[in-house]
């Protein structure tokens, strides 16, 4: 009998790929008697990370960047020798569309929360009552400790509805495509709760704890990174590092059986693979199906995911008669728009667009407007152009458009999410030892969070196999 133990990673998105990279590295560096396999249902690696090159444009169909302050992605880029490929976003004015008007993002707003009083007082985005209500945060008591609450409930209590709906909500739901009144505070921004509990006022707490901007005359560096040729550079670089026999594409894991020693994974091609440890890096809704004989994953059947589509429109610069001096805007939900956000990609990421051209990337799809994602390409393009022309003046049809639909792709961390995931993990520990969860459904949807979870799952699997 072979003493070599097998670790199978299910799912080849950035979570599974990061796990595969770090696991292979550990196996090689420490000369471990382990074999690694990555099983991916679709015909390509990368999952939601997908970059298309067309007519000299670089078009991101899923994520377009990651936060530069989050170390796991920067570290992985360094490991892969991609540091020279990293590009920071171009900075510029960003806007919020409220009613029919684009308003400049008030300076000092951190995720929409005021940290400077003056820019808010002078902003045309809020009524006098709205401003006074937001100022209540400075005098409201700390309030009781609670295990979890909705993001909306928390912010509405501190700042009132107007600040939340006009500013905080469009920014936060831009990240999660979620309903702020259902999303969990503790699973998304626990730091806001902790800051408020410690300093009583969230505004004052942020003023005290946020790093002070360095005095400099130059332009502020962008907060995000991508790569010269787009985010899929990450995927390709990991793919190249992995040994040849590691990845199986077009192969879904349909079912996993626990055996006396380890697990049997039944694959969609009819084969069965034995594993001593399994890293599940596929979305939450795959778990109840794959482990259908257990009910510990039942909560994941109730965990919602929302659908969005992004629409990249390529123009000749001359087609845009009235441009805006900035990098993009998000849309307040009280506005009569179907697009939820728009990026002037040629300004934010100049390397994506040939000279003399413009690339505009918009999102549609939000809670209460999911049907839009199912419309035809022509219908979606028309909706987007109609909305854009309310603030810009675009006279020509786009040279081409690329529409990417992401159905049920944004997992929603609703109130109680952290506790539910912890409960599942705890039960897995007893019932399914050696199976580990990682990925955007569990502990953070950002690319760096997914990479971090992939690396952590490797550490867990290695510790388990050593026992």
Q: Which of 87, 330, 445, 462 binds ligand FAD (CB under 6 A)?
A: 445
226 binds ligand FAD (CB under 6 A): no
Nearer to ligand FAD, 345 or 440 (CB): 440
406 binds ligand FAD (CB under 6 A): yes
Q: Are 88 and 222 in contact (CB under 8 A)?
A: yes
- Closest distance of CB 97 from ligand FAD, Å: 20
Nearer to ligand FAD, 48 or 417 (CB): 48
Nearer to ligand FAD, 201 or 381 (CB): 381
Sole window of 80-88, 297-305, 334-342, 441-449 interacting with ligand FAD (rule: CB under 6 A): 441-449
Window 333 to 352, contacts with ligand FAD (CB under 6 A): none
CA-CA distance, 234 to 403, in Å (whole number)? 22
Taking residue 415's Cβ as centre, other Cβ atoms within 10 Å add up to 20
Q: Are 308 and 75 in contact (CB under 8 A)?
A: no
Taking residue 228's Cβ as centre, other Cβ atoms within 10 Å add up to 14
Taking residue 200's Cβ as centre, other Cβ atoms within 10 Å add up to 16
Residues 6+ apart with CB under 8 A from 162: 126, 127, 129, 130, 133, 134
CA-CA distance, 85 to 228, in Å (whole number)? 5
Take residue 48 and report the two structure tokens written for it: 């939601």
Nearer to ligand FAD, 13 or 130 (CB): 13
Say whether 194 sits in a helix, a strand or coil.
helix
Q: Which residues of 94-130 are buried (b: 16+ CB within 10 A; e: fewer)?
A: bbbbbeeebbbbbebbeebbbbeeeebeebebbeeeb
C-alpha atoms less than 13 angstroms from C-alpha of 347 in its C-beta half-sphere:
16
Nearer to ligand FAD, 115 or 305 (CB): 305
47 binds ligand FAD (CB under 6 A): yes
Window 272 to 331, contacts with ligand FAD (CB under 6 A): 281-283, 286, 308, 310
Nearer to ligand FAD, 72 or 262 (CB): 72
Helix or strand holding residue 35 (H, E): strand 34-39
- Closest distance of CB 150 from ligand FAD, Å: 21
Nearer to ligand FAD, 98 or 445 (CB): 445
- Closest distance of CB 461 from ligand FAD, Å: 16
- Binding string to ligand FAD for residues 1 to 40, with x set by CB under 6 A, is what? ---------xxxxxxx----------------------xx
263 binds ligand FAD (CB under 6 A): no
Taking residue 337's Cβ as centre, other Cβ atoms within 10 Å add up to 21
42 binds ligand FAD (CB under 6 A): yes
- Closest distance of CB 179 from ligand FAD, Å: 17
Q: Which of 6, 24, 51, 65 binds ligand FAD (CB under 6 A)?
A: 65
Taking residue 404's Cβ as centre, other Cβ atoms within 10 Å add up to 18
Sole window of 103-111, 114-122, 327-335, 438-446 interacting with ligand FAD (rule: CB under 6 A): 438-446
Category of 262 on φ-ψ map: left (φ > 0), alpha (ψ -120 to 50) or beta? left
49 binds ligand FAD (CB under 6 A): yes
Q: Which of 27, 62, 166, 455 binds ligand FAD (CB under 6 A)?
A: 62
Q: Which of 125, 238, 247, 253 binds ligand FAD (CB under 6 A)?
A: 253
Sole window of 27-35, 346-354, 384-392, 406-414 interacting with ligand FAD (rule: CB under 6 A): 406-414
41 binds ligand FAD (CB under 6 A): yes
CA-CA distance, 101 to 96, in Å (whole number)? 8
252 binds ligand FAD (CB under 6 A): yes
- Of residues 235, 271, 238, 275, the one with CA closest to residue 252: 271
Residues 6+ apart with CB under 8 A from 395: 319, 321
- Closest distance of CB 173 from ligand FAD, Å: 13
- Closest distance of CB 265 from ligand FAD, Å: 9
Taking residue 249's Cβ as centre, other Cβ atoms within 10 Å add up to 13
Nearer to ligand FAD, 127 or 301 (CB): 301
- Closest distance of CB 447 from ligand FAD, Å: 4
Q: What is the sign, positive or negative, of the torsion defined by CA atoms of 418, 424, 429, 434?
A: negative
Site residues for ligand FAD per CB under 6 A: 10-16, 39-42, 47-49, 62-66, 252-253, 281-283, 286, 308, 310, 406, 409-410, 439-440, 445-447, 450
């Amino acid at each position: 009998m072979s003493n070599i133990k097998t670790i199978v990673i299910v799912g080849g998105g950035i979570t599974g790929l990061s796990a595969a990279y770090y696991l292979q590295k550990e196996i090689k560096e420490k000369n471990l008697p382990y074999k690694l396999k990555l099983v991916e249902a679709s015909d390509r690696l990368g999952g939601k990370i997908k970059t298309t090159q067309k007519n000299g444009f670089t078009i991101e169909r899923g994520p377009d960047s990651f936060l530069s302050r989050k170390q796991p992605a920067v570290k992985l880029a360094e490991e892969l020798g991609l540091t020279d490929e990293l590009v920071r976003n171009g900075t510029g004015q960003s806007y919020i569309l409220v009613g029919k008007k684009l308003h400049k993002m008030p300076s000092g707003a951190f995720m929409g929360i005021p940290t400077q009083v003056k820019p808010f007082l002078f902003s045309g985005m809020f009524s006098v009552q709205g401003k006074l209500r937001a100022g209540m945060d400075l005098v409201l008591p700390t309030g009781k400790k609670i295990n979890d609450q909705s993001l909306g409930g928390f912010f509405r209590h501190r700042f009132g509805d107007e600040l939340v709906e006009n500013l905080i909500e469009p920014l936060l739901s831009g990240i999660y495509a979620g309903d702020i009144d259902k999303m969990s505070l503790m699973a998304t921004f626990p730091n806001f709760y902790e800051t408020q509990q410690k300093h009583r006022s969230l505004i004052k707490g942020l003023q005290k704890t946020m790093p002070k901007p360095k005095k400099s005359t130059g332009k502020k560096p962008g907060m995000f990174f991508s790569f010269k040729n787009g985010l899929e550079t990450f995927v390709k670089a990991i793919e190249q590092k992995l040994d040849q026999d590691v990845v199986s594409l077009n192969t879904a894991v349909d079912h996993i059986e626990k055996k006396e020693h380890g697990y049997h994974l039944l694959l969609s091609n009819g084969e069965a693979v034995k594993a001593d440890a399994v890293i599940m890096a596929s979305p939450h809704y795959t778990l109840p199906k794959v482990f259908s004989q257990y009910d510990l994953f039942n909560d994941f059947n109730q965990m919602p995911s929302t659908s969005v589509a992004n629409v990249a429109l390529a123009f000749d610069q001359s087609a845009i008669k009235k441009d805006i001096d900035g990098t993009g805007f998000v849309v307040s939900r009280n506005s009569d728009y179907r697009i939820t956000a728009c990026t002037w990609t040629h300004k934010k990421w100049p390397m994506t667009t040939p000279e003399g051209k413009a690339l505009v990337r918009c999102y549609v799809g939000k809670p209460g407007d999911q049907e839009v994602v199912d419309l035809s390409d022509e219908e979606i393009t028309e909706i987007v152009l109609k909305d854009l022309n309310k603030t810009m003046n675009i006279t020509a049809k786009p040279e081409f458009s690329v529409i990417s639909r992401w159905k049920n792709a944004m997992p929603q961390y609703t109130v109680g999410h952290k506790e539910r995931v912890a409960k599942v993990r705890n039960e897995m520990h007893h019932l399914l030892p050696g199976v580990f969860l990682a990925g955007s459904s569990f502990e953070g949807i950002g690319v760096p969070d997914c990479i971090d979870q992939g690396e952590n799952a490797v550490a867990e699997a290695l510790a388990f196999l050593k026992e």
